[in-house]
Chains A and B, each alone.
Chain A
């Protein structure tokens, strides 16, 4: 997966756009091809030209959660970038189909990885998203295994997956697996979205999970596209 990734940045502060572009373009695969302070242009058609959208949730004082499904509707993969890191908001963004949620205080490394994973239909979970998943107390939440919960919690607290791995006494690969599987269980809840279907399809294709494994703990995690 080495082709260039075209990214759109939607943000209402020019200085932040500059910062994001310099962070993203430091990664050779990424090109920022579109910037703007509203989602109108992307929804109007420009969205088809980009592989991922980095969306600031608060645009000109209004919270743009509703823009997530609209962007996904035109085929965009959306990574939310915001200072509104209340767990409820993060989960809502993921349920609406966002690929990941990067808090504005999070590092460049998380931002770049989240954008690349979204463009490739792969799973990346930022520590902020991990905290939001593990703190879910909603009735219809997917049931996470004990080790998935532990991995998400430690990922939220530590500096790297290898640190989590040492703490849990497993390999970094296993830690990554726990975190990705937890995220995949969440791809089945909330609003059906083509991005979620693609995410699950890619996970199954990679042999990370089998379709049977995604029906867990009474919460059916099916391909959203197959729902009627």
Chain B
């Protein structure tokens, strides 16, 4: 798994695991001899309060392991933490408190970690609904590179990346507008970015557009967006809707092949070159008429 914040695979996971194990070992080295010494005198006399700090520390590192590691890593962490868990049970037994009190303690102790896990899971799910990267994620390194001089604004490749990023930002803004035909609104936003580069864009529509879910619209507009960003002087965008689905086509004098977009269950993208002209054709087949009714995955 890639660490989203640093871009390095699993660095935070490795640190968390090392820290987790270090705490378990240190805790055992410190607590187990004392426990053994005191065992002969009876559990009730063990100075239990001195061992409970490990629970909280392990909990937070455990969160990182859950976030970054797989199921096996989480299982190993639970096994490694068993001495600490056993100690907590001993404390509970020694203090002769009720089961309800134990449950309350456990819930109170783990609530912050569980909240963090829940929020993270929600963010992941909402990111999974977006088939393509959020524009901000693409924009930040680009702006950073230009600001620090690492990227040359005169470089055609940099300009192209900027055009694509600008179109994605415009599309993201357009997505939040309340309009009758969001697909056309979003395509117009992409066309507008191209027109600012003096590309002549025609947009034609055939048929009545059905309601199209946002992830499908993103998948439908992704390749056309890149083709429009690549167009040199002219582009023709055609939207065709019928009872079976919706197709978006772009014919443009593009400069380079369009990078393949994320495949989805219901949206297909094909492209053809003829001389200088590129034809991009994306098509969404409506679920009721497709063989499968699964939803789009990222």
Q: Which residues of A contact B (CB under 8 A)?
A: 87, 105, 131, 134-135, 153, 156-160, 162-163, 166-167
Cβ–Cβ contact A166 & B272, under 8 A:
yes
B247 at the interface (CB under 8 A from A): yes
Contact call A131/B204, Cβ cutoff below 8 A: yes
Whole-angstrom distance between the Cβ of B275 and the nearest chain A Cβ = 9
Q: A157–B247 contact, CB under 8 A?
A: yes
A72 to chain B, nearest CB (A): 28
CA distance A169 to B279 in the complex (A): 16
Rounded to whole angstroms, the CA-CA distance of A201 and B298 in the bound complex is 55
Bound: A159/B238 CA distance, A: 11
Interface string of B271-293 (1 = CB under 8 A from A): 01010010101000000000000
In the complex, residue of chain A having the shortest beta-carbon distance to the beta carbon of B252: A159
Are the C-beta atoms of B279 and A135 separated by less than 8 Å?
no
Bound-state CA distance A219–B249 (Å) is 32
**9 nearest A-B pairs in the assembled complex, by CB-CB distance:** A157-B249, A159-B251, A157-B238, A159-B277, A131-B206, A158-B279, A163-B272, A163-B279, A159-B279
Q: Report Cα–Cα, A162/B272, bound state, in Å.
A: 10
Residues of A near B21 (CB, < 8 A) are: none
Residue of A nearest to B273 (CB): A163
CB within 8 Å of A: which of B120-173?
none
Question: Is B258 at the interface (CB under 8 A from chain A)?
Answer: no
* Bound: A163/B207 CA distance, A: 22
CB pair A134 B206 closer than 8 Å: yes
Task: Contact check, B240 vs A157: say whether CB atoms are below 8 A apart.
Answer: yes
Q: Is B270 part of the contact surface with A, judged by Cβ < 8 Å?
A: yes
Can you show 21 pairs from A to B with CB atoms below 8 A apart? A87-B206, A135-B206, A153-B240, A156-B204, A156-B206, A156-B238, A156-B240, A157-B238, A157-B249, A157-B281, A158-B251, A158-B272, A158-B281, A159-B251, A159-B277, A160-B274, A162-B274, A163-B274, A163-B279, A166-B272, A167-B270
Q: Judge whether B202 is part of the interface by a CB distance below 8 angstroms.
A: yes
Residues of A within 8 A of B281 (CB): 157-158, 167
Q: Chain A binding site: helix, strand, loop or mixed by DSSP?
A: helix
Quote the shortest CB–CB distance from B252 to chain A (angstroms): 9
Q: Which residues of A contact B249 (CB under 8 A)?
A: 157-158
Secondary structure dominating the interface of B = strand
Q: Name B212-252 residues within 8 Å CB distance of A.
A: 238, 240, 247, 249, 251
Task: Across the interface, name the chain A residue whose C-beta is closest to B205.
Answer: A131
State the CA gap A105–B204 with chains docked (Å).
11
Cβ–Cβ < 8 Å partners of A158 in chain B: 249, 251, 272, 279, 281
CA distance A92 to B31 in the complex (A): 93
Smallest Cβ distance from B245 to chain A, in angstroms? Answer: 12
Residues of chain B within 8 A of A135, CB atoms compared: 206-207
- Bound state CA distance, A134 and B207, in angstroms? 10
| Bound form: Cα–Cα A158–B204 in Å | 12
Name which residue of chain B comes closest to A157, CB basis.
B249
Q: How far is the CA of A163 from the CA of B274 in the complex (A)?
A: 8
- Closest chain B CB from A66 CB (angstroms): 27
**A77 to B251, alpha carbons, bound, how many Å?**
31
* Alpha-carbon gap, A222 to B204, bound state (A): 33
Minimum Cβ distance to chain A for residue B157 (Å): 26
Q: How far is the CA of A105 from the CA of B272 in the complex (A)?
A: 23
Contacts of A87 in B (CB 8 A): 206
Q: Is the CB of A167 within 8 A of B272?
A: yes
Query: A167 — which chain B residues lie within 8 A by C-beta?
Result: 270, 272, 281
- Report the minimal beta-carbon distance from B57 to chain A, rounded to whole angstroms: 62
A132: nearest chain-B partner, CB-CB: B206
CB distance from A155 to the nearest CB of B (A): 11
Taking a contact as CB atoms under 8 Å apart, the answer to whether A105 and B279 are in contact is: no
A87 to B205, CA, bound (A): 11
Distance in angstroms between the alpha carbons of A167 and B249 in the assembled complex:
13
Q: How far is the CA of A156 from the CA of B202 in the complex (A)?
A: 13
Decide: A105 and B202 in contact? CB cutoff 8 A.
yes
Measured CA separation A164–B252 after assembly (Å): 16
A157 to B251, CA, bound (A): 8
Chain A: which residue is nearest B207 at the CB level?
A135
Interface string of B187-224 (1 = CB under 8 A from A): 00000000000000010101100000000000000000
Specify which chain A residues have a CB less than 8 angstroms from the CB of B274 in the assembled complex.
159-160, 162-163
Additional 10 contacts, C-beta under 8 A, given A135-B207, A166-B272: A105-B202, A134-B206, A153-B206, A156-B240, A157-B240, A157-B247, A157-B281, A158-B249, A158-B272, A160-B274
